[in-house]
Structure formats: C-alpha cells, structure tokens
Amino acid sequence: MRIIDFRNGLEPERLSLLVRQHSDEARKWEERVRSIVTDVAQRKDEALFAYTRQFDGVQIGSETVRVTREEIAEAVRQVDPELIAVMRRALEKIRHFHERQKQNSWFESNPDGSMVGQKITPLDSVGVYVPGGKAAYPSSVLMNLVPAKVAGVPRIVMATPPGKDGKGNPVTLAAADLAGATEIYKVGGAQAIAALAFGTESIPRVCKITGPGNRYVALAKKAVYGTVSIDSIAGPSEICILADGEASPRYVAADLLSQAEHDELAASILVTTSMELAQNVLLEIQAFTRTLSRKEIIQQSLENQGKIFVVRTLCEAIEMANEIAPEHLEILTKNPFEVMTKIRNAGAIFLGAYSSEPLGDYYAGPNHVLPTSGTAKFFSPLSVDDFVKKSSILYYSREALQSVHTDIIRFAESEGLTAHANSIRVRFPEEKNETGEGADENN
Amino acid sequence: MRIIDFRNGLEPERLSLLVRQHSDEARKWEERVRSIVTDVAQRKDEALFAYTRQFDGVQIGSETVRVTREEIAEAVRQVDPELIAVMRRALEKIRHFHERQKQNSWFESNPDGSMVGQKITPLDSVGVYVPGGKAAYPSSVLMNLVPAKVAGVPRIVMATPPGKDGKGNPVTLAAADLAGATEIYKVGGAQAIAALAFGTESIPRVCKITGPGNRYVALAKKAVYGTVSIDSIAGPSEICILADGEASPRYVAADLLSQAEHDELAASILVTTSMELAQNVLLEIQAFTRTLSRKEIIQQSLENQGKIFVVRTLCEAIEMANEIAPEHLEILTKNPFEVMTKIRNAGAIFLGAYSSEPLGDYYAGPNHVLPTSGTAKFFSPLSVDDFVKKSSILYYSREALQSVHTDIIRFAESEGLTAHANSIRVRFPEEKNETGEGADENN
C-alpha cells in the first residue's frame, strides 16, 4: 500500500495506469477458455464431464450431475440453523429491495385508435453461476437468485462446482433452496458456462447467465455472449473510499482491508484530501492485518493494488472517484449525501461512518453483484431488469394509420426502401394512382 | 419462399434449423475484425485513417474527420424541406414514446436511520454508429440519438462512413443535427467502432456504442464489449407474421416483402393456421415482387430465408412464434390483443391489419433497434435504459447498523471473510471481547 501525492493536480492518464494494472496474458487465457467452450458446445455432456474430471478432480455423470431433493435436504441438515436464520433475514431484506425495482408493462392509447406500449416479460430461464470449491458463498446465491425470482423467471438454474467429495457445498445448496432455485447442477468453470449457454444432454440451455466467478468463468461468459445474455463481466473486486480529514482512520483501514481479503487482485483505494488521514490509515492497516486470518492475501492485494491518493480538494477527490468508477464507493466525509449527488460512476455508494461495505455484501438489500474495473461508467448493479425483457407494442387503427401514412411512405422512400412504402400503400388502395404503386423510379 | 407443413406437430429442433442458417465463416470474420480493432486500439488515428482509405476509398485526416458546423449547414440545405418536416414529426413521436421510459431515482428510508435506494445517472458519453455509403438511414439516426438525448447523455457522438466524395450523407447529417448529436465523425466499419471504444487522437473514447451495421460492425462491437458497453449484437433483420385464415394475403405479402428488401440475409417468416392463406400469400408475393425496385435482393432473401410454416392450431402458432423470438412480430388474427398476451419473445409486436411493420420503423414512437436472431428471448429494444446506469445507495445510522450487525458478522464469517466481519465489528468496540476481534480461528 502506498501513498501517491496528487496535490499538485490530477492527471487522468497517470491515474488510469495506477488504478488498474492489466496484464498481457489475457489473450492466452481467452484462447484456452474458447477451446473449452467450443468443445462443450460440440461434445456436450461428454466434454462437460471430462473437464469436470480434469479441473475438479471429480467423476460426475448424467445421473449424478443434478442435485437431488435428498441431497438438498441433507445439505440443509448439515448447516447451522442459526446461519439459516441469518440467511433468511438477509433474504427478506434483499427481496424487499428488489421488489421495488419491478417495472410495469404500460401502454398509451389515443382516441384515433392508436396504442403504443411496452410489455415486460420475465426471461424463460436463467443460469446462475456460484463459485465453489473450498469456500461457500451463500450471499452470491441470494444476490443472484432473488432478483430472478422477483422478476418471475420460471426456470432458475444454479451451477456450482463440486467439492472433492463430488457434492455441492451444503451452505450453497441450502441458500439456493431458500432462494428458490428450480434446478442445481454440480459443474463449474468455463465448462459449466458453456453447458448453460448451449445445453447438453443433461442440462437444458438457459436464456441468460449471471453470477461471479474466476477468470475462466468471466472469459467463458464473454465467449458465449450473444448466444445467451450475461450480466456483466466481473473482474476483481474493488473499493474506493472517499474521505476527508474527519473520517476515522480505523474505520477506513478496516473497510479497505475487507476488500483486500477477497483475492490478490482486489483493489483497495483511498482518495483523501488529508495527508494526515492517509498516514494514520497506513498505521491502522498494519495493526489490523496482523490479526486477520487472510493476512497473506491481504498483504499481496495491498502491495499489488492498494493505493492512497492524496488530492487538494474535495472536488478533485470526487472527480477522481468518477474517473475510477469503482465497484464500491464509501463516502466518509462531513456531508456524505452532498458528495453523493456529484458521483456519476459507482456500482454502490455507501454513505457515512456506519455504512461499511459488508453491509451491502450481505444484508441491506441492494445487490452485491456490481460492475467492476471501471465498468460502472456504463453497467449497473444486477437487478430485476436483468431478468426480464421488453417488447414494444404497436396498434394503429385504419383511421390512425391514415393520418400518418403519407409521412411514413415519404420516409421509407427517402431510404430507398420501396417495399416498406408499399406495405403502407397497399392498405390504402383508393390512393393507388396518386402515390404510384411500386415507385420503381424512386430508388 | 417455401411452405413447410407442420400440421403433424411441432418439432423445435427442426424449427431452429429451418429458421436460422448459420455459416461456419463466422470465426474467419471474427479474426479479421479483431485484427482491425487491435490495430486501431494501438496505432489510433494512423490505423483509423489507413482503414478508411482502404475500405471507404477516402483520404481522411485529423483535420477533416470531424464534421464541421458548416458541413452540417450545407447538408441541411441539400435535403428536401418536406423530408425534414417528416423527420421532425417522426422525431416528436419517437421522443414522446421514449420520455415514457424514463425512470426515477428512488430511495426508501426507515425511522431507524437507514436508507437504501437506486440512483439513475445518464452515461457520460455514447457513440452511435450509423451505416452509410450509398444509402441514407435517417431513421437509424433518430432511433439511436433520441433515447440518448432523452436519457440526458451530455456527449452524443455519431460515426458514419464517408461517401466517395469524403463527405457524410446529407440526410444522415441533417437527421443527426435534428436529433441533437454533439459530435459527428466520418468513419465507418470495425475501425470506427474501435476508435469509439478506445479513443484516438481525434476521437475521444465513449462509454457505450449503439447502432446497427454490417457484419464488420457487429463483430467489432462484440470485440470491444467490456471495454465499453454496447446495445445488442444486431444480425440480419427479420419478421414473423402470425396469421389466421382471416388475414389479408395482400397485406401479409406486402409486409413480408418489406422485410425481405433489407438484404439477402433478412428473414421473412409466415406462421399460419391456414394453408389457403399460405398459398395465396405466395401468389401475392410473386405479383408484388415484379413491381418493386429492390427485387433482386427480395428474391434472394426469400429464397434463402423466406419460410411459410403451416401449423394446426393458433396455440401452436403462438408457441412457434415464441420459439422463433422474432425481431418483428405482426399478429394478423381475429383477436390480435388476445394473442399478444401469450407472446413472451419478440422485439416489437404489431397488432392488427393497420399496424404494418414500417409504422414501427419510422414513426409510431417505439424504437426500431430491436433484438434479432432469436435474442428477443433475452434482449430488449433499444431504450432510454440503455443510456443510463444505476448506482445503489446505502446509508445506515449507528442505530440501524447496531440492530443487524451480529447477523452481518455471522454471515461474513460463514464465508470465511474475517476482514469483512472486522469492518462491522470495529464500529462497536464495546463488544470487542464478546465476539472476539480478528477471529483467526474461524477460517
């Protein structure tokens, strides 16, 4: 973690280099993932199970790939009932928030007999990827399944890699059961994404794939985009804390560390107007790190991606946050609401001293699947919108079309599209001679 | 165009083969496009202008790439004032419809001092691609720029390839001026998409790229997805007409033809319960085609992609339409509204005899940029939503956090994330001994 002094002025070019270190390995990984995806698309189950053997070290077949009701019941029995109660309370908060995101179909009608509108329909099916292996991520399960459920998606599939024992993680399964998954498959990695996108003999294809994952999963999602929809491509997690001299260095340090523990590539960034805070945060980080269980990951993450930017003014700090477009933005300033109004680019914005980032990861209700790597400039948090699609509705009566048909014909002809013009003209045969059917000469 | 008899029952596998013929050339094209994109990302203007010379046969430089106010004024003077008036009326309808799509930021607050919400912010910038060359597509200009404008995007860039004279098409420029483009560049193809995504010395990068285009453009958009956002990947245009025996074969034929004239790959599909209608539509198509200016394209398109599916029941026709998930769906049945309620997958739905598809292309208000190639199963029409992004807002008071903090700590620890737990715990130091700071043993 180091302090970088921007008090002589912002340099956006330099900032962008500092915030995200990209590697040139990307292309090599893309090729590997692409070959897995293509293989599963072609050889289906056969390839899917072969990769599961190779990457997860587990023998799965068409009879065992889908988690049974009994396995779920067994998983639920294995989980601490207190944790289930916590998950249930979190689920309620998350559901409540997402219910607010639901949009209505709407239409507008006019006395001339015309109507236009927008129809909202849940996706037929969705595949939610949940990382697995050693750790369980029940919060990911809730955050992905709940909006799909709220949207009304009838077929909600979860894929999660099996452990060495060939079973799904009990906590993950219990959370999926709580949140209403309709099918669960024990597959992971790029091969799981390919199976969801193209379908195999055992896993019927889905319309959209969401959920976090490692680099294999992220690149596989990119590769299948278009065949299915995806949420957004998740990169390493990141936090940006925007703090003035009044912020508690202890809180700032603890919150930066909570991000750093995710993985070695996670980015923890402090943007502050106070060099004193910057220095105190460094001291607090050293003290905390010693006591934390994931200190190796934290130290690597802070060394690679941890940054403290000191700037002259709050205005510049805000500008910098907008440039960084962080996944998580904590505002620890005198008037956090005021600052928030000026933030254009951030996945989730946490206001004030008691809204630390883990509140959003687990509990408050807003989704924790957020745009990373600066994509908050154009992507949004996962939401109910991700699990519906819209259709435009158009109805015109003869009278309504009559009043605008010459305009439409004129417009179509300006684009040289005479069959378009003809499709309108044929409805008004009494005008045939006036406007000239076919209008060959018009192109 | 041929009739395919499904009266013995639907076979979804066979249907999907019939509707969309994919070629294996895709990969080769992808590689070509990828090399153009990478080249422009690296060599910027130099590569951009070289490709413009190569593909458009025009010498453009950094002084001439941006369309000037004078060029726009000259373009407007060249366009028939009557067409400008038509475009202006269409623009009003389109703006009116899209105004209805605007969503509000919202929040919900509780007496314990907690608040969650969703903040909606326009994208900082957007790049709209408009195909060019011989023909002008002012409707594309309006359909892409208007929702961006309504969303409040401050920087709206248009890119459109130059003609042989090195100028933009006058109608395209006039439409862009009407609709409120803030910058226009005379570049096209994959090189234009790359320039918009990565920025060059002459063209500052944008946050999102929308708009239709040929295969180069579509694949380039796919290649830059993630660096920027894109709308959806547009394939060839398609119409599906769902008609019963009461539909006018003349209207059906005219509407199928209006789709077929787009290009050789455009798909015109009729799904009907009436073999009699099917046969009459074929006759009408023959009669019309002779009179239409783009008959070569139409004949090729119908031969390649034109299909008439005859099914037993209206129910099966609806099921088939949902399977096809067409870009445009016309419902020409006795009770089109009733049928519409059962449609899950379609970009735009046109109801009844006087709502022919060109009404939606130009005039009624809903966007004509629609999901193609079956992606209406998960993508939506271009809308104001495409030009905003959302940020979650979270604010908890000390009191509010207090009441849930043990749940959050419990949840974090279940995921092995002790620094997350610590970030909550540090806010309640009085409980230090009770819950045990650090909790190393918990992983």
Q: Which residue of A lies nearest to B290 if distances are taken between CA atoms?
A: A438
Write the residue in A137, A340, A390 that is nearest to B383 by C-beta.
Answer: A390
Q: What is the pLDDT, as a whole number, of residue A226?
A: 84
Q: With beta carbons less than 8 A apart as the criterion, state whether B358 and A423 touch.
A: yes
pLDDT digits (tens, 9 = 90+) for A116-144: 999 999 999 999 999 986 678 899 999 99
Q: With an 8 Å Cβ cutoff, are B392 and A343 in contact?
A: no
Q: Which of B263, B300, B389, B443 to mutate to test the interface with A (most CBs of A within 10 A)?
A: B389
- Cα four-point dihedral sign A408, A409, A411, A412: positive
Interval A28-52: pLDDT, tens: 888 899 999 999 999 999 999 999 9
Q: With 70 as the cut, is the pLDDT of residue A279 above it?
A: yes
Task: Quote the pLDDT of residue B235.
Answer: 78
Q: Does A204 touch chain B (CB under 8 A)?
A: no
pLDDT tens, residue by residue, A212-259: 888 899 899 989 988 999 987 777 889 999 999 999 999 999 999 999
For A363, which of B254, B393, B404 is closest by C-beta distance? B404
The shortest C-alpha distance from B1 to chain A (Å) reads 17
> Does the beta-carbon distance from A226 to B358 stay under 8 Å?
no
**CA distances (Å), A271 to each of A245, A308, A312, B367, B422, in order?**
11, 6, 10, 41, 21
Nearest to B293 among A292, A401, A440 (CB): A440
Tell whether the model's pLDDT for residue A441 goes beyond 50: no
List strands edge to edge, sheet with B328-332: A106-110, A114-122, A388-396, B348-351, B328-332, B238-243, B267-272, B307-310, B2-5
DSSP string, A8-69: T---HHHHHHHH----TTHHHHHHHHHHHHHHHHHHTHHHHHHHIIIII-----TTTSBPPH
Which of the two residues, A54 and A15, has the higher pLDDT score? Answer: A54
β-bridge partners, B255: none
Query: What is the spatial distance between Cα B399 and Cα B397, in angstroms, rounded to a whole number?
Result: 5
Q: Taking CB atoms and an 8 Å limit, are A345 and B389 in contact across chains?
A: yes
Tell me, yes or no, if the pTM score tops 0.80: yes
Q: Do B228 and A423 touch (CB under 8 A)?
A: no
Q: Which of A95, A103, A264, A293 to substitute to test the interface with B, most B CBs within 10 Å?
A: A293
CB–CB contact A114 B364 (8 Å): yes
Query: Which residues in chain A are contacts of B298 at CB distance < 8 A?
Result: 419
Q: Are B332 and B247 in contact (CB under 8 A)?
A: yes
User: To the nearest whole angstrom, how far is the Cα of B17 from the nearest Cα of chain A?
Assistant: 15
User: CA geometry: angle at A394 spanning B175 and A421, to 5°?
Assistant: 55
Which B residues in the span 232-291 are in contact with A, Cβ-Cβ below 8 Å?
A: 233, 250-251, 254-255, 257-258, 260-262, 288, 291
Q: Which residues pair with A107 in a beta bridge?
A: A117
| Strand locations in B321-386 (E) | 328-332, 348-351
Is B378's CB within 8 Å of A411's CB?
A: no
Q: Are strands B114-122 and B106-110 parallel, antiparallel or unpaired?
A: antiparallel
The tokens for A176 are 């999926």
Q: Classify strands A114-122 and A388-396 as parallel, antiparallel or unpaired.
A: antiparallel
| Neighboring chain B residues of A381 at a CB cutoff of 8 Å | 390-392
**Per-residue CA distances from B399 to A88, A247, A353 (Å):** 22, 19, 12
pLDDT in the model for residue B398: 96
pLDDT in tens, A370-391: 999 899 999 999 999 999 999 9
Name the catalytic one among B238, B327, B330, B357. Answer: B327
Cα B337 from Cα A115, distance rounded (Å): 11
Cβ–Cβ contact B387 with A under 8 A: no
Which candidate in B328, B330, B368, B405 is catalytic?
A: B328
Q: Which residues of A touch B105 (CB under 8 A)?
A: none
Helix (H) or strand (E) holding A107: strand A106-110
More confident residue, A235 or A64: A64
Which residues in chain B come in under a pLDDT of 70?
A: 10, 12-26, 133-134, 432-443
Gap from B220 CA to chain A (nearest CA, Å): 13
pLDDT for residue A340 is more than 90: yes
Separation CA A427–CA A414 (nearest Å)? 20
Residue A110 scores a pLDDT above 50: yes
> Which tens digit of pLDDT belongs to each residue from A289-321?
888 888 899 999 999 889 999 999 999 999 999
Count of residues in chain A: 443
Residue B110 CB-density burial (10 A; 0-12 exposed, 13-18 middle, 19+ buried):
exposed
How many Cβ atoms are within 10 Å of B138's Cβ, its own excluded? 29
CA atoms within 13 A on the CB side of A191: 25
Question: Phi and psi at residue B82, in whole multiples of 5°?
Answer: -65, -40
Dist CA A337 CA A279 (whole Å): 26
* Predicted local distance difference test score (pLDDT) of residue A326: 96
Q: Which of A380, A410, A423 sits opposite B389 (nearest CB)?
A: A380
Task: Considering only the beta carbons, identify the residue of B233, B381, B411 that sits closest to A390.
Answer: B381
Please answer yes or no on whether B108 and A100 come within 8 Å at the CB atom: yes
pLDDT on residue A23: 54
Q: How many CB atoms lie within 10 A of CB B53?
A: 12
- Distances, alpha carbon B34 to alpha carbons A25, A27, B38, in Å: 17, 12, 6
- Across the interface, whether the CB atoms of B396 and A355 are under 8 A apart is answered yes
Q: How confident is the model at residue A22 (pLDDT cuts 50, 70, 90)?
A: low
| A95 or B4: which leads in pLDDT | A95
Whole-number Å distance between alpha carbons of B145 and B176: 7
Test mutation, B22, B420, B425, chain A, max A CBs within 10 A: B420
**Spatial CB neighbours of B323, under 8 Å, sequence gap ≥ 6:** B10, B12, B15, B16, B345
- Residue B13: predicted pLDDT: 62
Contact B394 A355 (CB under 8 A): yes
